[in-house]
Amino acid sequence: MIIAAVTFRLHAPWVHSLKEKRMVAKSLITRLQNRFHLSAAEIDEQDTHQIIVIGAAAIVPHNAMADSLMDEISVFVEANTEAEIVAEIREIR
């Protein structure tokens, strides 16, 4: 059993309230969960208006599938949010 985990740090300069930020984050998290059937949540910077940190994790059978899944997730996040991806951290455990 292998755990594929990826963390995205996003910058959304148009967001001016925590309510707007929550709407952006929740929308992206829900779409990730529905598309990939994985666990996802906002994991850091909850009190910062323009920074969104989202973590996602899934259990996969082997390393090749973990790499493939993380590539797909990265492309999906880039295509499904207007926020800029500032950093992406990948882990395979």
Q: Which domains does the chain have, with CATH numbers?
A: 2-92 (3.30.70.1120)
Single pTM value for the model: 0.90
Residue ranges of the chain whose pLDDT lies below 50: none
Q: Which of 80, 71, 53, 62 is nearest to 3 (CA)?
A: 62
User: Which residue in this structure is represented by tokens 């950093």?
Assistant: 87
Give the pLDDT confidence score for residue 47 in this predicted structure.
87
3-state SS class at 17:
coil
* Structural element, H or E, at residue 12: none
1-25 tens-digit pLDDT: 899 999 999 999 999 999 999 999 9
